[in-house]
Every structure is written in structure tokens, then in C-alpha cells.
Amino acid sequence: YYNADSLQIFDEDGFFKTGDVGYYDEDGCLYFVERIKEVFKYRALPIIPSFIEAILLEHPAVKEAVVFGVPSGDDGDAPGAYIVLRKNSNVSKEEIFEFVAKQVSERERLTGGITFVSIERKNYMEMSAKILQGPKLKSTIPAKSLGQLFFECAEKYDDRICQVDGTTDETETYGSVKLRSTRVAMELQKRGITSDDVIIFCSSNSLDTSIPILATFYLGAKVANLDPTLSAKHTQHLISLVFPKIIFVEESAIALIEESLKTINFKAEIIVYGKSTKYTCVSQLTNPKDGEDNFRPLEVDLHDTALIFFSSGTTGLPKGICHSHYSFIDYEMGKVVLHYTTFYWITAMFMLIYSHIVGGYRVFCHSVEAENTFKVIDKYKVETMFLAPNLTNKFTTFKGTAGYDTSSLRIILCGGNPVSPLQYQKMAELFQYSNIIGVYGMTEVGVISMFHPDADKELITTKYRSCGKPLYAIRLKVVNEITNQILGPNEKGEIRVQTPCALKSYFKTDSSQIFDDDGFVKTGDIGYYDEDGCVYVIERIKEMFKYQSWHIVPSALETVLLEHPAVKEAVVFGVPCGDDGEAPGTCIVLKENSYASKEEIFEFVAKKVSDREKLRGGIIFVSNLPKTPTGKIMRREIRTSVVKSSQVDFKGDILQFPSFYWISRMLMLMCSFLLGGCKISCNIVDAEETLQIIETYKLVDIETNETVGPNKHGEICVKAPSLMKGYYNGDSSEVIDKDGFLKTGDVAYYDKDECFYIIERIKEMFKYLSRHIVPSSIEAILLEHPAVKEAIVFGVPRGHEEGDVPAACVIDATIDERESYFSVKQRSTRVALELQKRGITCKDVIVLCTKVTLDNVIPILASFYLGAKVTYLFMAPILTYKLTSFERAGEYNTSSLYSMLVGGTPISVAQFQRLSAVFKHSHIIFGYGLSEAGIVTLFDPTKDKGFIKTKPGSSGKPAAGVTVKVVDLVTNKALGPNQKGEICVKSSAVMKGYFKSDSSQAFDEDGFLKTGDIGYYDGDECFYIIERLKEMFKYMSWHIVPSAIEAVLLEHPAVKEAVVFGIPRTEEEGEVPAACVILKEKYNINKKEIEEFVAARVSDYEKLRGEGQ
């Protein structure tokens, strides 16, 4: 194959593997049966589609037929069929089923279902090309820019309400919005704004927010929105990315914008929403203007960039997503729309645009409160509302709905995740007049699919798990994510979309990887479509995981969990379990006043899923699940937090706590129980776990298996209700005897008081001359000798008759060497005198290459006696603060220190300056490396002097012989300068692999080591390390980088050490930053002072809101 691995298509004898199933007869004649990849298994036996298709085509009413596998749990794939009937044929599915059943085996019957497909439907779905085609664009949509559309709609609907603040009940008409936005546009013209310029808006929702946005559309300039809670670092990046000419900002975010502009040394005019004595205010721009009645929006190319949205920044800092004027089309959402998101999110912009096109108005609320929402729906007769599925629970649990009229609410759009059947039913009962419609979309494409409230009325109720049909001008295909082969109905793969409404590109960033060769946007979502062209989204590719080579789909298990009457919310994720991959685990929020045990939950799910989908990864009950502001569950952060937790150990079918993970705990248990057993309980992870009483036990002779009495050695065997069922996927017959007793493998005896004594593990015993040898008994004797420090006894083979003769390895206690200060001084002095004879001076370098012994220190001290100087020093970042805080540093001569290499995590610019002040003659160099790869990057003091001083945050350039790339976390594609991703390394110094462990996941397909570190390189190929991927967490949908906050904490004069981490909080917040801090001696300050110190230096969402100490 051209530029592809072809090894798999040839066997070891050089034969080409065709992939076809067939046979030959006694005459050597070949018979072709089927393609292997089209064969599927049902009840462990292969099903050949072409054989059943041939039978179907024998029926006089069947024109065309295709047979395929339909997933059927543990049975595999049951045969199903799509059939095109001949004209004027009248035949039922039952008749077709019986026709086939009479001619095939039981397993080949069409138990997977029969679907009649009409020619019209076949054409609509373009089944020949397997690409879904949405309806054509409406001819009524004018070819005008967003500015022209807004302006003309405002003229047309002059006296109608245009926007409503649902929290304050303030309203504004189209005429007022048009007048104010026109005046702002004229002011912007005076400032020279053109279609080439970008204007940034940084504000929460208010009646003023949209006014300058509309004005910008009138002039054809580009709109970009920031969130006031962004960090200074993110704000700096986004401003430097788009270089705005003007920034509109709310009062609370003025300091953020000022600091960001100063840091990046960029100038932009600041205009304030609200009041300001320092800057121009929006209210000043809306004063009357000469000629305002004659103003008209400028004509622009519809395919020019109109809006720049920003991605979530999962691989570092966000990217800019460019949308044209053509990206937004009328989707008939109703005249009165309600939303909660700000203009930072694309949903708010959709609502603004669509309400204008139809002459309706948008209502926005500042937060999702059930009572206020019902009041707003009733008062303003809301027709369309957008909700994240998890927020629907706020409404279905609200008790005060009786006094509100919601009959106007025609459409409830739910996007993000599917709504569970139970929750859908509750919402349908609560909003009896509403269509609850699943929506599928993404910022890069807009709305991809949804049902039409009128044309698809029946499908809305019967296929509520679907995200609807492709919308106007959408072409959708599902492809195999590995082979890129286009799949047909009910075949799962990656969804890809082509539409004139898709993003133009990422702003000033390579966008080639998001499109396939045919120009379709790769969504990164796994899904399929059915025979009616209804789209189903299953999971994000990156959220699926594998257990025992099977794909596990978290959302499928979450749906099952939500069917349990006690479960309010649930998230499923993969928990590492060795060679098996990742076992399904879950965090669950129970409903108020509800209770369910972990065992009950486990069994509930186990009855409804395949064996591989059972919750072997563990079950954890939590008070809430962290979510983004739009209600999406932060799955990755939850998984990272759980897997990293040291409090729990995921083993077996149910979550197992570490108290009895180690055999020592079980030995203590066995040694302590009396006849009849005793009840033992332990409090672990705030949950009392109780061991059931051991019913009975016995000791049996190792040779005869006969039961023995007191003071006689034998193997311990136990029987208890808590006894394991068996080893998972392993033969357990050898460990349980015929009476149901577990054979422990431990040799012991009990005395007349029935107290147990453990002697040895059977597998550590051996035989010599037919007698059992107990190593621990001989080891105990050896340790009684005064010269023996440690000993281990084992068997050495000596022939068939003798068996294994006892032998021992012994550590001599007399080798436990110690040395006094006097001896060290005397020996080092003598070595110094010898070095002097050899002409050693303070200018020489002495290298030591030796094992660790007491002799090591002697020549080192001798070198110091002769005035040898330290020229190179390696320091961890945290230790540098000890050096810069040492008050007597000036008393020492450090001029010999040529360079100090600082590695691990970056330090702040301020700390770099402090180090430079203390070590004036030294090069302070940042290095980056890891045990698996050695040194990866660092600056060369002789070649990179300029960079060392001007780029203190960089960890340098690739070391000699090292190749480094930065790849996208999702696509694994190599990124360019200033793009954040995972750092991957290749060099001769990279490890061969992990010892006796699978190392395949540590390397990519090109042989690069995946470091797990997030970073980037700049235009000078200088690398910057941001954070360990697994140590980042999210708060209010923003990524928190612990090391950045730690660097701020370490700047406080009282702080010696600090660590920052995330603490789960409310559904909307996610994990809030918290810190553990060690103070320097003699300092006594309170938490509030530390919190205020940090708050003054970080963004709002990086403040230490968690309970630290």
C-alpha cells in the first residue's frame, strides 16, 4: 500500500490475505462465499449476509435487500434487513420473516428486525453514497450581511419589543436598539473602524451589551467576545491573537484589560459599559448625532469573517473560530426566545440573530432559577428555550409550578447530552404544550441537526433520544474513524459535516486538521443515523475507552444508571486495570431522601448490560458533579480526580477499600478471630464497611487433606458468606474444595484456646528427602546469630530423590560500617595532601565515578580543602526560594558558579529576577526533562545568552540529538509555534520501555515518547512547559494550571512551600482552587491574608475559593 503499512496483508509464507471467505471442492474449483468484514457473529456463530440476501430476493415482492448485524447484547449481532419492495406489492414484515425462517437455521432468522425502505426515503438519504442531505436553503433568506439584516429588521419592527432582561424586567424596542446602535456605529466610524478591524466585547448580559455588537456588524468589522472571568494570561493571549482596535468592557473587568494590554505591550482604546471617569462610556457614544437618520450599514462580502468565537482551550489556550455572515440561518425557533448564556457562547448569538429575523424578542436571565424561569415564560409568553439536559432537573423538582401558564412554550431545545427516558417523561408531563427537542451542534459548525416542530411531530415523541435530522444545507456522513470508510444506517462511526455555515478557519492558526479530504468538518463525535435519517450522537471519541479490547460507551451506561429510582445524576469513566485496559467506574449523585447501596447499584446495572460493561471500576457516591457553566459534566476532571485519589482502590466487582488490599490485613484478621468468628468494621472514605462473620474454618493436612486438630500444622481453609465467587476470568476449582472451603495457601496451627498461629505460605515451602521445609523457621534461627543482619532461606534442587536442599543468603551485620568525624577529617586531609602533590588547584575539575560507599565523601572534602569551586548547580524550582530568601547570601563568594540549571516546573519572572540578583555571575537556565527521556530541552550558556535573559519562562531549546514535537491532544497532529499541546520526544536517550510492563501507550505511532506534559514553542523554537496534563483541573469551564498559582504563592514572603489542587464544589462551578501552604519559621499570618495576596495577582476564577490550610 502506498505510504502505509502492508505487513498485515501477507502471511508468514508470503501469501496475500484477500479478506474473502470461500472454499474449494475435490476438483479444485473455488467457491466465493463472503467478505470477512461483512460476516458477523450471532450467538458465537458466523452469519453470512449474502446467503440470507439471496433467499430474500427469491420472494416475488422483494426488489432489493441488504442484511446486516443489529447489536443484541451478549448474543452478538442479530440478523436484520432493509428491503425495497416492488411496485404495487402488498406484503407484511411477518410474511417476509416467515418466508426466510422456513429456509434458514434458527440463528439466521431476521430477529434483528425488518425495515421497508421506500425509493423516496432512499433518495432523501442518498443511501447509495451513504450521505445524509438536509433540506435546501430557503429562497426567502436574503443575501445580506448580519448588519444589513439587523438594521432592516429594526426598521420593519420599530415599535416591537426587541430584548428583555428577565432578571430586572427591563425591556427595549427595536427602534431604540436601532437608534442607539446607529449612534455607536457612527462614533466607531469616526475612530476609523473598517471591515479589517476586530473589536472585542468583554461583558455579562445586559440591555447595553448587544448595542455596540450590532454597531460593529453595521460596519462589517469582526466581533470577538471575551468572558470577564478569564485569567490575565488567557486574556493576554486572546488580545494578542486578534489585536483589537477597541475593547468594550464592563466595569468589573477594567483592571483585567488594563493589565493584559500592559503585559503584551499593546494599545487599544477602552470603552466602558457602565460608568468610568477614566475612559469613554457606552452611554456617551449614544448621544444624538448629525445625519443619524441617513445612516445605512455597509455592504460586505457574506463570506467575510463576522464573528470570532473561542474554543474551550482543552489543549492549552483557546483558539479563535471564525464564522462568516453566511454562517447563521433562520431555523424557525419562534418569536420569543429565552437563554442564559452570555455572548461568549455561540448559543447567545444564535438567539440574538434568530429573534431579529422574525421580529421577535430575546429574553435573557442572569442565572438558571426555576421559579424565575416559570415567571418569565408566563409573563413574556416565551416560545423557545435552550437548556442543557442536566439543568432540566431544576424544573422537574420545582414544586411551585401550579400558578404559572407555560402554554406558550412551544420548543425546549436540549443540547450537549441526550435526555434520559425518565427525565424526558417528567419534562413532557411538566411542559405539556412543548416539544422537547434534542439539538446537535458545535461551535465550529453551528446547529447540525434537530427535529422540525411541525414536520417531525411524530418522530419527536417516538425518537426523543435522537438529535433530529440534518438541517438546511447540511450534508452529514458517518465514517469509520480508522479506515475513513463511509458507513451506512445504524453503523457507528465519527460524524462529519459539510455546510456553508461551518467555520471558515481557526483565526491565525492551521485549520487543515479539522477538515477531511472531502471538505467535511471532523466533529470528533461518535454516532449513527437510522433508516429515517434521524441522527444519534453516542459519545465524544476521546470520552470512550476500552475494556478487554471492547469499546465502552459511558453515556450508554449512564442512561441505565439514571433509570434507577434513587439516582439523580451519574457519570461513567474508565479506571485503569492493568492489561484489561480501563474498567467502567462511576460517580453517582443520589436524589434527596433516597438511599441505595453500592451492591444494589452494581446488580441493577449488571442485569441490564453485557458482562464487559459491569461497573468493575467501582462505584462512588458524591454530593455533586462538577460542570461547566453551560451544564456539561466535566467528565475528564472527575476521572482524573478519582483515579489519582489515594483513598480508594478499584478492584473486583465492587469498590474495594485499601484496608484489606494487603495480605497483612487479612493475616491480622485470621489471627484475631475466635471460634464462631467476630465482626470487624472500619471507617474508610466516610463510609462504614463491615466484614461479615466467618462461619467456620478448618485445618487440613497438606498431604492427605484430612482435618487436623489443635497444635498440628495444616493449611487454613475457611467458609464465609463473604467468600469470593471465584477468580475473574480464571479457573477457581483448585482453590475451593468439595465442601466449599477456600484453601488459603497458608500453613498454621491453633492451640487449645483456638488461637491461630501463621507459619508460612505453602508456595514458599519446599521438600527435602520427602519432608516439608519451612523457610521462616530456619530464618528465625539464623537471625539469632549476632553476626547476621538479614537472611532468606530457599531450596536448591538436588536431584529427584533428594528434592530441594535448604540454602541461605545472609547479610553480615559486621559490614554495617560507620565512621566518626575525626576519621573522616583525617582521611580527607591525607587525600588533599596527595592531590596537592599532583598539582591540583582551585581551577581544576575533579570527577568522581563510584558506587555509594563511605569513601565517596573523602575526595570531595579533600577537593573543598584545596579551594575547588562549584561551577554547575542543579536546583528544583521550589528550592530556589530558599536561596533567594537567605539573608546572608551576600557574605559568600559565588562567582565560580557558571550556571544554575532549574528543572521541574517553571518559576515566575519575579523569582528569576531575584535569582539573577543573588547569583550575578551565573547563567540561570531552565531545563526540561524526565526519567524516561533524560534532558529534553535547555539553553546553551555560550550560544543562547540573549534568550536566557529575555525568555526567563522558557525551558530552552531541544538538547543535542533530541527531536521534539507538540501534538493536539485530540487529533495527535503536530502543531506549529505558539500552539499548546502535548510534548512528544524522540532521541537515542529515550527509554526502551517500562520493565515488565506494557509500554505501547507511552509511544505514538512514529516512535515519539508521549511525555504527558502540556507546552508549546515560540517562533525562536524556545519551549515553554505549562503543566502536567493530569494535574490540571477545571473551574467554571476554565482550565486551572496549579503551577501558575503556586508560583504566585511562593512570591509571598511568608510562604516556604505550596501546592494547589482542585476541590469539587457545585454543579456549575466544578473544582475550585485550594492550596496547602507551609509557612516559613517565625511567620504568623492568617488564611485571609494569603487569599487576598493571591486574589490581587490572578484572574477571578483562579482565586483560592477552596478550603486550604
pLDDT tens column, 378-421: 999 999 998 877 678 788 888 888 889 999 999 998 876 667 67
Q: Which residue has the higher pLDDT, 1093 or 77?
A: 1093
pLDDT tens column, 123-134: 433 334 578 888
162 and 358 in contact (C-beta within 8 Å)? Answer: no
Highest mean pLDDT among 473-487, 500-514, 797-811, 839-853: 473-487
Could you tell me what percent of the chain has a pLDDT over 70? 84
Cell numbers of 978, please? 505558539
Please state whether beta strands 475-479 and 493-498 pair in parallel, antiparallel, or not at all (unpaired).
antiparallel
Cell numbers of 608, please? 441490564
Per-residue pLDDT at 854: 60
Name the phi and psi angles at 1051, rounded to 5. Answer: -80, -15
Angle, alpha carbons 331-333-335 (nearest 5°) = 125
Could you tell me what percent of the chain has a pLDDT over 90? 23
Mean pLDDT score, 90-96: 91
**DSSP for residue 86:** P
Q: Which residue has the higher pLDDT, 679 or 1004?
A: 1004
709 and 698 in contact (C-beta within 8 Å)? Answer: no
Q: Is 291 left (phi over 0), alpha (psi -120 to 50) or beta?
A: left
871 and 845 in contact (C-beta within 8 Å)? Answer: yes
Per-residue pLDDT at 47: 86
Q: Which amino acid is at 37?
A: K
What band does 726 get if pLDDT is binned at 50, 70 and 90? confident
Q: Which residue has the higher pLDDT, 750 or 421?
A: 750
Per-residue pLDDT at 815: 53
Q: What is the 3-state secondary structure (H, E, C) of 104-151?
A: CCHHHCCCCCEEECCHHHHHHHCCCCCEEECCCCCCCCCCCCHHHHHH
Picking from 1020, 1010, 1022, 1000, the residue whose alpha carbon sits closest to that of residue 955 is 1022
1012 CB-contact burial (10 Å; exposed 0-12 / middle 13-18 / buried 19+): middle
d(CA 66, CA 56): 9
Per-residue pLDDT at 1035: 81
What band does 650 get if pLDDT is binned at 50, 70 and 90? very low
Q: Which residue has the higher pLDDT, 288 or 1064?
A: 288
Place of cell 471507617: 683
d(CA 849, CA 753): 61
d(CA 1064, CA 1072): 6
**Which run of H or of E encompasses 246?**
strand 246-250
pLDDT tens column, 135-186: 766 544 456 889 998 999 999 999 999 999 999 999 999 999 999 999 999 9
Q: Measured between alpha carbons, how far is residue 991 from residues 956, 966, 1009 in Å? A: 22, 19, 9
Q: Which amino acid is at 1048?
A: V
Cell numbers of 213, please? 455588537
Mean pLDDT score, 816-821: 61
Name which of 235-239, 486-490, 640-644, 709-713 the model is least confident about. 640-644
N-terminal to C-terminal alpha carbon distance within the chain: 61
What band does 1053 get if pLDDT is binned at 50, 70 and 90? confident
Per-residue pLDDT at 287: 94
279 and 254 in contact (C-beta within 8 Å)? Answer: yes
CB atoms within 10 A of CB 275: 9
Name which of 415-419, 488-492, 701-705 the model is least confident about. 415-419
**pTM here?**
0.46
Per-residue pLDDT at 908: 67
pLDDT tens column, 930-973: 888 888 888 887 788 788 878 877 888 998 889 999 998 878 88
pLDDT of residue 878 exceeding 70: no
Per-residue pLDDT at 652: 31
The separation between CA 486 and the C-alpha centre of its own chain, rounded to angstroms, equals: 27
Per-residue pLDDT at 743: 86
Cell numbers of 743, please? 484453601
Structural domains in the chain? 32-117 (3.30.300.30), 145-152+172-328 (3.40.50.12780), 544-644 (3.30.300.30), 872-1031 (3.40.50.12780), 1033-1102 (3.30.300.30)
d(CA 940, CA 204): 47
SS3 80: strand
What band does 890 get if pLDDT is binned at 50, 70 and 90? confident
Q: Which residue has the higher pLDDT, 676 or 703?
A: 703
- Residues composing the chain: 1109
Place of cell 447540511: 474
Per-residue pLDDT at 296: 94
Mean pLDDT score, 579-601: 86
What band does 819 get if pLDDT is binned at 50, 70 and 90? low
Q: Which residue has the higher pLDDT, 892 or 86?
A: 86
SS3 527: strand
d(CA 687, CA 842): 64
Per-residue pLDDT at 1043: 82
d(CA 520, CA 522): 6
Please state whether beta strands 680-684 and 618-621 pair in parallel, antiparallel, or not at all (unpaired).
unpaired
Picking from 608, 482, 456, 613, the residue whose alpha carbon sits closest to that of residue 535 is 456
d(CA 684, CA 686): 5
Name the phi and psi angles at 481, rounded to 5. Answer: -70, -15
pLDDT tens column, 503-553: 877 777 777 778 888 888 888 888 899 988 899 987 766 677 777 756 687
d(CA 1078, CA 1084): 11
Name, in order, each residue with C-beta under 8 angstroms of 1016's C-beta and a sequence gap of 6 or more: 316, 966, 975, 977, 978, 979, 980, 981, 1023, 1024, 1026
What band does 57 get if pLDDT is binned at 50, 70 and 90? very high
Cell numbers of 374, please? 416559570
pLDDT tens column, 18-27: 877 788 888 8
Mean pLDDT score, 898-906: 74
| Mean pLDDT for all residues in the chain | 80
pLDDT tens column, 333-351: 678 999 888 888 888 888 8
List helix spans (H) across 766-908.
775-782, 821-837, 857-865, 877-884
